[in-house]
Chains A and B, each alone.
Chain A
Amino acid sequence: DVKVTQSSRYLVKRTGEKVFLECVQDMDHENMFWYRQDPGLGLRLIYFSYDVKMKEKGDIPEGYSVSREKKERFSLILESASTNQTSMYLCASSMIRVNTEAFFGQGTRLTVV
């Protein structure tokens, strides 16, 4: 069974903390994505990576950075967490060919207090 695994389902962090959200896929996919989902705003793309060490900004990259040192792992980093980063974070992966689907993890509910 194909899998995208996010390291935590629920996370509570304090304002100003450095936060790492980890995502691992076991399908040898080239593409990996980080989204955040907020009520009424749908899914918004934060960052996208199409290869190891390669990244592209999505629609809302401010306040976030990413790391992709290995093909199977894509990390989202909040350098200094703020309360407006409280959200559901979703990771996804896909092959780079067009006629393939993206697979999503179950999400991490991050609360910054």
Chain B
Amino acid sequence: DAKTTQPNSMESNEEEPVHLPCNHSTISGTDYIHWYRQLPSQGPEYVIHGLTSNVNNRMASLAIAEDRKSSTLILHRATLRDAAVYYCILRARLAGGTSYGKLTFGQGTILTVHP
């Protein structure tokens, strides 16, 4: 399975943009890039996902490099509630099919937001 590499930790100030990088140099053509975050004492929650094109939703934006070997999660204006562990995940296809199955997490990036 393709792996992801993220910085262990990052810091930001409130109301500033945050760019969380992820390297996935062994990504295959059918792997989707997913981002989840885990707030303290909670299970992970979905943030965003994409395949090739950049994606936006109400929580964040996902910028995917043209060669797909890296991606960046962008929080446009960090708030104290965004302090969490952010996970970049590659979701692979089930063998022999067109469906997608398991999510394999890495260690994630601990984001600290300062007031």
A-side residues, CB < 8 A to B, are: 4, 30-31, 33, 35, 40-45, 48, 50, 56, 58-59, 90, 92, 94, 96-99, 101-107
Contacts and interface: CB of A to CB of B under 8 A. Distances in A.
A45 B103 contact: yes
A42 B87 contact: yes
Interface string B17-50: 0000000000000001010100000111110010
A96 B99 CA distance: 6
Consensus secondary structure, chain A interface? strand
How big is chain B's contact interface, by range?
A: 20 to 34
A33 B103 contact: yes
10 contacts: A35-B105, A40-B107, A41-B107, A56-B101, A59-B104, A98-B99, A104-B44, A104-B45, A105-B43, A106-B42
Consensus secondary structure, chain B interface? strand
B115 to A, nearest CB: 26
B102 interface: yes
Contacts of A33: 102-103
A96 B94 CA distance: 9
A42 B84 CA distance: 13
A56 B93 CA distance: 13
Contacts of B91: 98
Contacts of B107: 40-42
Contacts of A42: 85, 87, 105-108
Given A99-B49, A102-B46, A45 B102 contact: yes
A102 to B, nearest CB: 6
Contacts of A101: 34, 46, 49
A106 B40 CA distance: 11
